């Protein structure tokens, strides 16, 4: 019996096909039910959408440990994807984005609206994102407690693939902020050590574009996936732009992204 549910929103474009292909390859190490989801604006479109999903599932073939299901729902992608994932207890949503051009509903900025509507983590990828075994995952964190909320999800993915997690932060000039960052790093490193997940820590110099430094690190260390908690109240003013740019990054890397919850004083 499958214990994991991955939802793949499919808009009947090559981007949807890329998301399904990634989900299939990702699922080969664990038993998963992959549910294809299509959102229609009216009930009159449902029959045709169901037929298309049937064809896509038939063409996907059979894969050991993977079962397929489908769902056609009426409504808005900004509500229904998150609602369905929440109701059915999905572990992951794997969704394609059309990048800076293409269908409006899955542009980078629009994809972020879908992310913030859900409590479930996403893997967002592009049409040309290839699947390869995940050996290195980079987790950028900052001084907010919210940024740490992705570490368990990244750790789960690292455990499946035997990957190394690269925890990246920025050095701070202020002594108090520097101590805060060191505390964050120690918390993350300890949690990964307790899970036997290999962990590397990299502190980048202060100043300059944070996103540029991260992408340079990605290239240097041959990173296979970026994982972040999205929190618009980040202390880094460029974080919103960075988060959106990650899901349409020029390296076509998959991005794991989770909407963070407001952290209370006792969180971490």
Identical topology for domains 4-125 and 136-259 = yes
Cβ atoms of residues 166 and 202 within 8 Å: yes
Q: What is the DSSP letter of 214?
A: H
Spatial distance between the Cα atoms of 222 and 27, rounded to a whole number of angstroms:
22
Report helix, strand or coil for 42.
coil
Q: What are phi and psi of 170, to 5 degrees?
A: -110, 140
**Strand runs (DSSP E) across 75-180, as ranges?**
92-96, 122-125, 136-140, 164-170
Cβ atoms of residues 144 and 231 within 8 Å: yes
Q: Which pLDDT score is estimated for 3?
A: 63
Q: Which pLDDT score is estimated for 163?
A: 96
Q: Give the relative orientation of helices 14-26 and 46-60 as an angle to the nearest 10 degrees.
A: 50
| Predicted model pTM | 0.87
Q: Which pLDDT score is estimated for 126?
A: 87
Among residues 231, 238, 172, 243, the alpha carbon closest in space to that of 209 is found at: 238
Write the CA distances from 43 to 46, 47, 72, 105, 152, integer angstroms: 5, 8, 9, 19, 39
> What CATH topology corresponds to 136-259?
Rossmann fold (3.40.50)
Among residues 122, 132, 157, the alpha carbon closest in space to that of 253 is found at: 132
Element (H or E) spanning 38, and its range? strand 32-40
**Which two structure tokens, joined as six digits, stand for 105?**
């509903």
Q: Which pLDDT score is estimated for 74?
A: 93
Q: Which pLDDT score is estimated for 267?
A: 39
Residue 268, number of CB atoms within 10 A of its CB: 17
∠37-118-128 over CA atoms, to 5°? 55
Per-residue pLDDT of the chain (268 residues; tens, 9 = 90+): 346 999 999 999 999 999 999 999 999 888 899 999 999 999 999 999 999 999 999 999 999 889 999 999 999 988 899 999 999 999 999 999 865 444 333 444 577 788 888 899 999 998 888 888 899 999 998 888 888 899 999 999 999 999 999 999 889 889 999 999 888 888 899 999 999 999 999 998 888 877 788 888 999 999 999 999 987 654 443 445 767 777 777 888 899 999 887 544 433 3
Q: Which pLDDT score is estimated for 155?
A: 96
Instruction: Sketch the domain layout of the chain as residue ranges.
Output: 4-125, 136-259
Write the CA distances from 128 to 20, 95, 157, 245, 251, integer angstroms: 13, 13, 21, 16, 9
Identify the CATH class of 4-125.
alpha beta
């Amino acid at each position: 019996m499958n214990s994991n549910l991955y939802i793949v929103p499919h808009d009947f474009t090559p981007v949807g096909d890329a998301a399904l292909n990634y989900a299939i390859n990702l699922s080969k190490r664990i038993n998963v039910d992959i549910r294809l989801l299509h959102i229609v604006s009216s009930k009159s479109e449902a029959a045709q959408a169901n037929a298309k999903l049937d064809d896509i599932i038939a063409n996907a073939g059979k894969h050991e440990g993977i079962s397929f299901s489908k769902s056609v729902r009426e409504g808005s992608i900004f509500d229904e994807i998150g609602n369905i994932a929440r109701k059915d207890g999905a572990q992951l949503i794997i969704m394609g984005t059309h990048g800076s051009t293409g269908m409006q509903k899955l542009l980078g900025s629009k994809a972020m609206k879908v992310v913030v509507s859900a409590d479930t983590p996403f893997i967002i990828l592009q049409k040309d994102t290839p699947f390869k075994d995940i050996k290195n995952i980079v987790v950028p964190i900052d001084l907010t407690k919210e940024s740490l909320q992705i570490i368990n999800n990244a750790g789960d993915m690292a455990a499946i693939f035997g990957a190394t997690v690269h925890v990246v932060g920025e050095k701070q000039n202020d002594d108090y902020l520097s101590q805060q960052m060191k505390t964050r790093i120690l918390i993350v490193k300890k949690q990964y050590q307790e899970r036997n997940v290999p962990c590397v820590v990299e502190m980048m110099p202060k100043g300059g574009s944070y996103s540029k430094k991260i992408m340079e690190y990605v290239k240097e260390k041959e990173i296979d996936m970026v994982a972040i908690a999205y929190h618009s109240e980040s202390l880094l003013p460029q974080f919103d732009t960075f988060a959106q740019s990650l899901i349409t990054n020029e390296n076509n890397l998959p991005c794991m992204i989770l909407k963070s919850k407001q952290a209370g004083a006792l969180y971490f």
